[in-house]
Amino acid sequence: MTTTGECIRAEDISVSFQGVHALTDVTISLAKGEILGLIGPNGAGKTTLINVLTGYQKPTTGHVMIDGSDVTRTAPPRRARLGLVRTFQAVRLFDNLSVLDNVALGACTRGMGIRRARAESMRMLTANDLDRYAYSLAGAIPFGVGQRVGLLRALATGPRYLLLDEPAAGLNDVETDTLIETLRSIPLAYGVGILVVEHDMKLIVGACERIHVLDQGSTIAEGEPERVWADPKVREAYYGGAEGAGADVVGG
């Protein structure tokens, strides 16, 4: 199966584990240059869907495409070579290496020599106001800075699509605001599509152009943040239908 356009797209995805339906007929797409938020209550199926997109979970039914090519049965390393990169909530930097060399390791995966990789990484750090940490050991930098360094290391690998797993976990309000600014700058600067899985609604609303909401393994809403939070199904999933709760989240 093929589809046109530069995007990663999962169509009619269902996943069952011994008769238990983790996902049911979910379709989701992420275009280059956009930021999409994937949210839902605990147990909604977000992790399973991310695993399907990245190749760590085979769907029971449905197809996954990257830029028109069917990769449903393709292993994760091959998807990575096609430009799909995933980060995890726990950023694992090399504590005994400098921040610059941590980012440069990402660039080296593209076949760059170390001198060119360091030069490219310094440009990235400077553009994101992190160059003052370039020669600090990664194990000595603040937690929020480490989260951003991990993001830049992933970007240095040259992805077309970047899947972020709770990048705001553990951040304070100021650090979250800085991360939002960083995320919003990436599509324009690098042409990368970003899918953000996050519980921090401040980041989701502040950074994402669209939101895709899962509940009990099914899509219940998709669209612009304000419209999604006004959807009664979303309020019901998150707050048991409490009136006005969604408006409070969007306003925050």
pLDDT along the chain (252 residues), means of 10: 72 93 96 96 93 96 96 94 87 94 95 95 96 97 94 95 93 94 94 94 93 96 91 86 46 34
Tens of pLDDT, residues 148-157: 999 999 999 9
Does the pTM surpass 0.85? The reply is yes
List of residues 6+ apart from 223 with CB closer than 8 A: 210, 211
- What's the rounded Cα separation, in Å, for the pair 19 and 212? 25
What does the pLDDT read at residue 88?
A: 80
What does the pLDDT read at residue 241?
A: 52
Average predicted confidence (pLDDT) for the chain: 91
- Length of the chain counted residue by residue: 252
What does the pLDDT read at residue 246?
A: 42
Cβ atoms of 121 and 156 within 8 Å: the answer is: yes
What does the pLDDT read at residue 136?
A: 98
Given CA atoms 17, 20, 26, 28 in this order, what sign does their dihedral have? Answer: negative
What does the pLDDT read at residue 244?
A: 46
CA angle 79, 30, 117 (to 5 degrees): 55
What does the pLDDT read at residue 229?
A: 84
What does the pLDDT read at residue 99?
A: 98
Q: Which of 89, 9, 105, 4 is nearest to 49 (CA)?
A: 9
- Kindly tell me the burial class for residue 15, based on how many C-beta atoms sit within 10 Å of its own C-beta (0-12, 13-18, 19 or more): buried
DSSP conformational letter for 132: G
